[in-house]
C-alpha cells in the first residue's frame, strides 16, 4: 500500500485584510444606513396585496469581519415553505486599507463577482444605489 502525505493549509493562503478602524466603520455604517433608508427601501420594499411569489420585506446592512454586506429579507408566503423568511446578501464592500474598498455583487451561481477592485466609500455607495448589478 502507498503512503499518503497529509498537508494542512494551502501554500497559496491569502493574506488577511487589514482591520477597519472603528471611526471609519461607524462612518460607513451611518452612510450605508442612510442609503438603505432613502433609496433602497423605497425602491424595493413593498408588501403585495395577494403575494404569488417571494417578496422583499426588509433591506439592511451587516458587518462580517472586515466586509460590509447589504442584505435583503425575503418572505416566502406559501404554507409549505421551508422557512417563512430568508436572507439574501446582494452586495459586499470589502475593506482594502487606506479608505478603499472592493465592491462585489452576488452572481446567479451564488459566487461573489468583484466589479470594482478599489473604490472610495462614496463611490461604492453610489454604485450600489445606481447600478443594476446591485439590485436586491
What's the pLDDT at 17? 79
pTM: 0.86
- In this predicted structure, the answer to whether residue 115 has a pLDDT above a threshold of 90 is yes
Q: Is residue 4 over pLDDT 70?
A: no
CB 103 within 8 A of CB 93: yes
Is a pLDDT exceeding 80 seen at residue 23? yes
Q: Which residues contact 114 (CB under 8 A, 6 or more apart)?
A: 102, 103, 104
CA distance 21 to 23: 6
Domain range list for the chain: 22-46+53-134
b/e map of 80-110 (b: 16 or more CB within 10 Å)? Answer: eeeeeeeeebbbbbbbeeeebbbbbbbeeee
Amino acid at each position: 500500500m502507498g503512503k499518503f502525505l497529509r498537508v494542512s493549509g494551502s501554500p497559496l493562503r491569502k493574506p488577511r485584510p487589514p482591520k477597519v478602524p472603528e471611526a471609519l466603520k461607524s462612518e460607513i455604517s451611518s452612510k450605508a444606513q442612510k442609503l438603505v433608508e432613502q433609496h433602497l427601501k423605497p425602491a424595493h420594499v413593498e408588501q403585495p396585496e395577494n403575494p404569488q411569489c417571494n417578496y422583499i420585506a426588509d433591506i439592511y446592512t451587516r458587518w462580517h469581519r472586515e466586509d460590509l454586506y447589504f442584505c435583503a429579507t425575503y418572505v416566502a408566503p406559501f404554507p409549505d415553505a421551508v422557512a417563512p423568511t430568508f436572507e439574501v446578501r446582494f452586495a459586499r464592500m470589502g475593506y482594502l486599507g487606506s479608505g478603499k474598498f472592493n465592491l462585489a455583487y452576488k452572481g446567479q451561481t451564488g459566487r461573489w463577482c468583484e466589479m470594482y477592485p478599489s473604490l472610495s466609500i462614496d463611490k461604492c455607495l453610489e454604485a450600489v444605489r445606481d447600478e443594476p448589478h446591485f439590485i436586491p
